[in-house]
Amino acid sequence: MRPAIWRLSFRHALAHPLRTGIIALCIGLSVFLPLTVQTLMARYRHTLTARATSTPLVAGSKGNRFDLTLTALYFRRGGVSTIPLRASEELTSDSLCVPIPLNARFTAQDVPIVAIATEYFAFRGLTPSSGTLPLRLGDCVLGSSVARRLSLAQGDHLYSDQREVYDISKPPALKMRITGVLAPSGLPDDEVIFTDLKTAWVLEGAAHGHDDPKTIDRATLLAQTESHISISGALIEYNEITPQNAASFHIHGDREALPLSAIIVLPRDEKAATILRARFNASPAWQMVVPSQVIDDLLSYVFRIKSFLDAIAILMGATTGLLIALVILLSMRLRAREMLTLNRLGCRRFTVLGMLVTEMVMIMSVGAVIGLAASAGAIALAPNLIQSL
Amino acid sequence: MSDLVSLSDVRFSYPGPGAFSLRIDSLSIARAEHVACVGPSGSGKTTLIHLIAGILVPESGEVRLGRHRISHLGNGHRRALRAREIGMVFQEFELLEYLSSLDNILLPFFVSGGLRATAEIRRRARDLADRLGVAHTLPRRPRRLSQGERQRIAIARALLGSPSLLMCDEPTGNLDPHTADTTLDLLFDQARAHDAAVLMVTHNHAILDRFDRVVDVTSLARLEPVR
């Protein structure tokens, strides 16, 4: 193709910016929609499947299995009832598995606080890039993205979000000490704050610390027997756990009933997994699921939506194709006089056709680049799709 | 003076019911000769120009341009010969609105297979525009030019390839008498400078004395109903 043809085509496209812009945008949209949906869906599928496959079993209270799996895998809050600590302890009784209990019911600055057994860090291969894992009650370690986003580092402090601001009987916001920041993993673990289970129970109000009853104001002492002391809810609880007051923290009520959101279960082998599932699922209140199966079921729902989006993309592509055909036909009609002039000046038919095709190729290329750029932008701006589940 | 253009026993008819066929027994134009072509509307003036340019092909007879029998050449060869040997100024100028004046002058070199818009051609285009007094309009698009400026850009386009034959279809039809005179001066000057023959279709009888010869199409050609 002669450079002059490119020049003429380019000039014609530039001289009709509205027409050129509409076609380019139509093309861009036709590229953007299927490409973005396809890429995000592929990423979505890969991420979900990879994390689910690496997690053999998840136990929790009976209810929505999708909620349970997403809570255990992605620390999604809400939607699941708690399961008592007793369930986790029962799982350890015959050494068929290693249970990793977790509680993901609280937040700090709207970031999930995941209280979890220390085995979890080895299971996911998470190591601190600075500082250490939580060492004592009230300690926490930050996921890399959280540390960056909140501009926090080892040695800083972080307050949990208080759920009941106007009820003084509820536990206060807890000031937690940051002992370290985890190395980036590219997993949802980068987006949360980890602490130990006992700290979660302090956040629940199931455990607390306060001044020695022997030294407190007598007005807050409601009743006292040899074995039991009742104190008014007006007594100020500690909102920070320090070496000085750590010993005063204690749990009220039945320890085995302490709440968990879910339990990640690492069975010894396939047979152990089968036995555990059969045994656990016999309980009327609990369930144990295979995350990979649950995620497959979830993806089948999601991919039904994708089929719908694919149909829209095909429809849009066909519409764009028809629009381009219409534009070419109208252009040929509108440019009939120009074609006649070119013919009279000695222009070959092939050259005239080349000009039309070249112009369309240029506009389609620009549209494709717009679509690709927009798609790349959308994909880059949607890294937390899984987190938003 | 040797003939540049010659037509003999040419017959051409447009298709369709009620159409007329045009017959021309003989016509010749010498090199560097300036010929005016007159006649009422519909008498076949534009058809004559198109036959000479090879845009239309006669049913019978022969049209020669120099040593070429243009009426017997294939489509591609006729286009190439037209681009190389003939400069045309159309009644409506036929400038492309999306190109600058300079690109309009260079247009035949952009679109014709055998021509290339080399640096020398570009220099000549600027030089021609300068001599025609439209150098300042070269970056502008045609819609920003006056009628006279558009006219001169069209003439520059026709002259750029140094054609041996310059054919103009009512080039002064839309101009006031003064601008028409000036334009004709420029056209003839440039044609003489390039040793080109001129065949101009016109209804303006006031300018006929400026031509070497005047051909009345009504006496030259016969219109017959198509049987």
Q: CA A159, CA A178: separation in Å to the nearest integer?
A: 10
Tell me if ipTM is over 0.95.
no
Cβ atoms of B90 and B37 within 8 Å: the answer is no
Mutate to test the interface with A, among B110, B112, B122, B169 (most CBs of A within 10 A): B110
pLDDT of residue A207: 76
What are the per-10-residue average pLDDT scores of chain B (227 residues)?
85 77 88 91 86 91 91 87 88 88 91 77 91 90 88 89 89 74 82 89 87 87 63
Distance CA A233, CA A210 (A): 11
Low-confidence stretches of chain A (pLDDT beneath 50): none
> With an 8 Å Cβ cutoff, are A351 and B113 in contact?
yes
Choose the mutation target among B98, B141, B144, B165 for the interface with A, i.e. most A CBs under 10 Å: B98
Which of chain B's residues have a Cβ under 8 Å away from the Cβ of A2?
Answer: 110
Predicted local confidence at residue A213, as pLDDT: 66
pLDDT at position A100 is 94
Report whether A34 contacts A310 (CB < 8 A). yes
Give the dihedral sign, CA B40/B42/B46/B47.
negative
Q: Which residue in the set B90, B98, B111 is minimally distant from A347, CB to CB? A: B111
Residue A30: the pLDDT is 85
On whether any CB of chain A is under 8 Å from the CB of B208, the answer is no
DSSP string, B128-160: HHHHTT-GGGTTS-GGGS-HHHHHHHHHHHHHH
CB A143 within 8 A of CB A187: no
Chain A contact set for B79 (CB, 8 A):
343, 346-348
- A213-235 pLDDT per residue, tens: 677 677 777 777 777 777 776 66
Compute the half-sphere exposure of residue B158: CA atoms within 13 Å on the CB side of its CA.
36
Distance from CA of A7 to the nearest CA of B (A): 9
How far, in Å, CA of B60 to CA of A296, rounded?
Answer: 79
Domain positions in chain A are 3-48+298-388, 57-289
Pairing of strands B34-38, B213-216: parallel
Residue type at position A380: A
Interatomic CA distance for residues B187 and A7, integer angstroms: 29
Query: What are the CA-CA distances from residue A245 to residues A5, A48, A175, B154, B217 (Å)?
Result: 83, 42, 13, 97, 119
> How many Cβ atoms are within 10 Å of A333's Cβ, its own excluded?
9
Hey, are the CB atoms on B110 and A8 less than 8 Å from each other? yes
Which pLDDT score, from 0 to 100, does residue B113 have?
66
Q: Can you give the pLDDT at residue B223?
A: 66
The secondary structure element, H or E, covering residue B20 is: strand B20-30
Nearest CA in chain B to A349: B76
Residue B221: predicted pLDDT: 67
What integer pLDDT is reported at residue A187 of this predicted model?
A: 86
Q: What is the model's pLDDT at position A48?
A: 80
Structure tokens at A275: 């036995």
pTM over 0.80: no
Q: How far is A353 from chain B (nearest CA, A)?
A: 11
b/e code A41-75 from CB counts within 10 Å (16+ = b): beebbebbeebbeebbbbbbbeeebbbbbbbbbbb
